[in-house]
Amino acid sequence: MTKEQWNAIKNRDKRYDDLFFYGLKTTKHVCRPSCPSRLCNPKNVVIFDSLEDAVKKGYTPCLKCRPEKGNWQGSKAELAESAKELMRADYREKFSLKEIAGKLYVNESYLLRTFKEVTGQTMLEFYNHTRCSAAKELLTRNELSISYISDCVGYASPSHFTRIFREIYGCTPSKYRKDYIRSLG
């Protein structure tokens, strides 16, 4: 192992991912240089040019850094994306952090922190954006009332829906609809 390789491991430098992999003699796991696991003792490290070489030598891919997944962004990004998928699928339902965290088998506060860290927005902000985006589609249909659309996208009251929609898009749902119809004509 070179000093440069050890510095890449020690600093968890993503720039070295896929340039080399390191195995741990003690656990027989193989990792990317950016692996978030606890820093290992350099005397237990074996360097590999490829993941295939490590697997041939009996090492198994690490579950934290997932070296077998080429474009994997990390466990936190994967968790945030899974949470987004659940919220997109259930946006008509009342937001339940407990339910989402339970489906993902993680602690609620960890999920909130991780989601904010990865996406830059809170889960509730994402949830409201998802709902209001669906509402924009429905607002293009003039025969649907604002109250009906509010209910369709999961808001308990039209006034709450209108307040959230205005916060996100800077106008009320009625104004959005009028501007949309005007743009067609």
pLDDT along the chain (185 residues), means of 10: 92 88 94 88 93 93 81 74 94 91 92 92 96 94 93 94 96 93 79
57 shares a domain with 15: yes
What is the number of domains present in the chain?
A: 2
Helix (H) / strand (E) containing 31: strand 29-31
96 shares a domain with 31: no
126 shares a domain with 81: yes
Phi-psi label, residue 131: left if phi above 0, alpha if psi -120 to 50, beta otherwise:
alpha
Q: Which residues pair with 47 in a beta bridge?
A: 22
Asked whether residue 170 is domain-assigned, the answer is: yes
pLDDT given at position 74: 65
Instruction: Give the Cα separation of 157 and 150 in Å (integer).
Output: 7
pLDDT given at position 17: 85
Asked whether residue 67 is domain-assigned, the answer is: no
- Whole domain around residue 30: which residue ranges? 3-61
- Specify the 3-state DSSP secondary structure of 59: coil
170 shares a domain with 115: yes
| Phi, psi torsion values for 46, nearest 5 degrees | -125, 135
Give me the CATH number covering residue 141.
1.10.10.60
Instruction: Give the Cα separation of 54 and 151 in Å (integer).
Output: 55
Instruction: Give the Cα separation of 36 and 135 in Å (integer).
Output: 40
Give me the CATH number covering residue 41.
3.40.10.10
pLDDT given at position 182: 83
91 shares a domain with 168: yes
Report yes or no: 101 and 107 within 8 Å, Cβ to Cβ.
yes
Asked whether residue 153 is domain-assigned, the answer is: yes
Considering 38, 61, 84, which residue would you say is the last residue of a domain? 61
122 shares a domain with 32: no
162 shares a domain with 77: yes
16 shares a domain with 45: yes
Asked whether residue 68 is domain-assigned, the answer is: no
- Alpha helices by DSSP H, listed for 140-185, are 146-152, 158-169, 173-184
* CA 151, 157, 159, 161 torsion-angle sign: negative
Considering 61, 94, 110, which residue would you say is the last residue of a domain? 61
165 shares a domain with 80: yes
91 shares a domain with 176: yes
